[in-house]
Amino acid sequence: MLFLSFGVWWEIDPVIDLISLPSPLVFYQELTTMGFPSIYAEPKGKELNLVCIINCMNELLVLQHKNLRAQEEVEIQHLKLGSDMDHLQNCYAKLKEQLELSKREIVGLQERDRQLQSKNRNLHQLLKNEKDEVQKLQNIISSRATQYNHDMKRKEREYNKLRERLHQLVMNKKDKKLAMEVLNYVGRADGKRGAWRTDKTEARNEEEMYKVLLSDYEQRQKQLLLENAELKKVLQQMKKDIISLLPPQKQKPKERSEDGLVLSDQEEDIGELNKENMWELSCETVREQLTNSIRKQWRMLKNHVEKLDNQVSRGHSGAWNEKDVISREDHELETGKLELEIQQCKEMIKTQQQLLQQQLTCDDDTTLLLQDCYLLEERERLQEEWRLFREQKKNFEKERKSFTEAAIRLGLERKAFEEDRGAWLKHQFLSMTADCKPENTTASAFLRSSDPDIRLVKSASRQRRLPSVLSPAVSPEPFQISQYIAQNSVASEKPAADNMPNLWVEGDDKEETEECTKSWEDSGVGPLFRNLHMEQLP
């Protein structure tokens, strides 16, 4: 058995142990150079490490596999590249061929183009030649024609001479009995006698002729006038139609700066030309104006129609103008709404009609019944309303009562508060004037100090006496305050007090007073007083 190792063929006896192969040293050297660990059990030893060897072998196998795979890959890539290369070469060859073909084609086309151009030039030349020839022939024809005419004239003159000669001969020769034999002369067709040839007759002839011509012209003119009138009418109608068809933008000439002048002119023109008398004139300028104005209007109408067409086509093609879209949607909405409205109205009308019908057509019993029904309905409605009214009234009463109670309470509180205040002021004064002034002055001072109050109160009460006490709608505050002030001057003012006896119930809650005071203070008495003061001065 041959065994190849390291490029050398070894003849091996398969029985022989591998180890007896020439020196594992060779393997060891190779392996170490390849980076494998030593296969010997210990360095420089003779014992071979089997595990190591097997590991080495394994690694070698792995390496081998790797190398094989790498080789395969390389081979595949090589093949691929080879085929790519082939492909590219084919493409290149084809493209080269195509290029060649195209070049040849171009050359062919250029050649053809050149030929056609030369042909064209030839044809042009031929055409020119033909034209020249035609011109020449025409000249020849005209010259021949003049020649023929000249010859004809000559021949004719000769012929005339012959005729004259013949005539002379004939007339001379004959027997003068150029006869007309007639049994008897017939009368003229119109029964008149023949007239002599005179100047008068000549003049009359002329006259007659001119009369005939004139009558013919007059007739024609009449026809033309009629035609003209008709056409003018038609034009007028057309004008009106065009004006009605044109959009109302035309009515605002100021908005359009460019067309402003033109439009205003046109409007003027229209105004002018719509006058009846202008239509009757037939002079040049009026006619021109008329036709011009109609043309302008027609053009405007045309433009308008074109614009509409464009809009429609744009809409169809999808290039939407925002304004148009919305307006259309709006328009549709509007139309929907209007339709609904119309339907509702129609239904209403129908029902009303039916009711009317019933009213009109039904007989007495049913009418009475119906009327009773209506009355019942109405009565029930009225009762309902009464009920509601009474309820509301009750509510109002309740509210009023609560308000009045609240007012009374408030008044009481205020009264208590004032008493406290008065007491406190008294106390203050007393303490203050304990050193300097006697008691009378305090009272007078008190009185004096409360003078403006009293004065105010007097007038206020006087004023407040007049308006009715019970008015729940009026805000309770000034009312209460005036009451309180009135109450404040119980000592001096009786009528004021008299005014309020009903309201003032007992009860003097401290808390309420405090609250009241607070509320009174918070509500800002000053301005209230000021208000009162103001009210005094009308």
State which of positions 440-469 bind other proteins (CB under 8 A).
none
Cα 222 to Cα 65: distance, rounded to the nearest angstrom = 123
Stretch near other proteins under the rule CB under 8 A, chosen from 7-15, 48-56, 165-173, 523-531: 165-173
Stretch near other proteins under the rule CB under 8 A, chosen from 72-80, 166-174, 355-363, 422-430: 166-174
The yes or no reply on residue 522 touching other proteins (CB under 8 A) is no
Closest CA to 235 of 284, 277, 285, 274: 274
Stretch near other proteins under the rule CB under 8 A, chosen from 64-72, 117-125, 163-171, 460-468: 163-171
Stretch near other proteins under the rule CB under 8 A, chosen from 109-117, 179-187, 446-454, 462-470: 179-187
State which of positions 480-519 bind other proteins (CB under 8 A).
none
List 186's β-bridge partners, or say none: none
State which of positions 349-368 bind other proteins (CB under 8 A).
none
Query: What are the DSSP calls for 188-249, one per residue?
Result: PTTSPPP----HHHHHHHHHHHHHHHHHHHHHHHHHHHHHHHHHHHHHHHHHHHHHHHS-GG
| Other Cβ atoms closer than 10 A to 117 | 10
Pairing of strands 2-5, 8-11: antiparallel
Nearer to other proteins by Cβ, of 154 and 455: the residue is 154
Please state the three-class secondary structure of 1-53 as a single string: CEEEECCEEEECCCCCCHHHCCCHHHHHHHHHHHCCCCCECCCCCCCECHHHH
The site map against other proteins for 186-225 (x = CB under 8 A) is xxxxx---xx-x---xx--xx-xxx-xx--x---x---x-
Of 47, 175, 364, 522, which lies in the binding site for other proteins, with binding defined by CB under 8 A? 175
* In the complex, least distance from residue 323 CB atom to other proteins, rounded to whole angstroms: 48
Count of residues of this chain found to bind other proteins when the rule CB under 8 A is applied: 45
Stretch near other proteins under the rule CB under 8 A, chosen from 118-126, 181-189, 271-279, 314-322: 181-189
CA distances from 131 to 118, 301, 330, 407 (A): 20, 48, 69, 126
Query: Can you tell me whether residue 475 is helix, strand or coil?
Result: coil
Tokens (6 digits) for 214: 């004139």
Cα 274 to Cα 297: distance, rounded to the nearest angstrom = 14
Of 69, 131, 165, 167, which lies in the binding site for other proteins, with binding defined by CB under 8 A? 167
Closest CA to 421 of 516, 338, 494: 516
* In the complex, least distance from residue 152 CB atom to other proteins, rounded to whole angstroms: 8
Stretch near other proteins under the rule CB under 8 A, chosen from 73-81, 170-178, 375-383, 442-450: 170-178
Nearer to other proteins by Cβ, of 117 and 223: the residue is 223
| Contacts with other proteins, residue ranges (CB under 8 A) | 138, 141, 145, 149, 152-153, 156-157, 163, 166-167, 170-171, 173-175, 177-190, 194-195, 197, 201-202, 205-206, 208-210, 212-213, 216, 220, 224
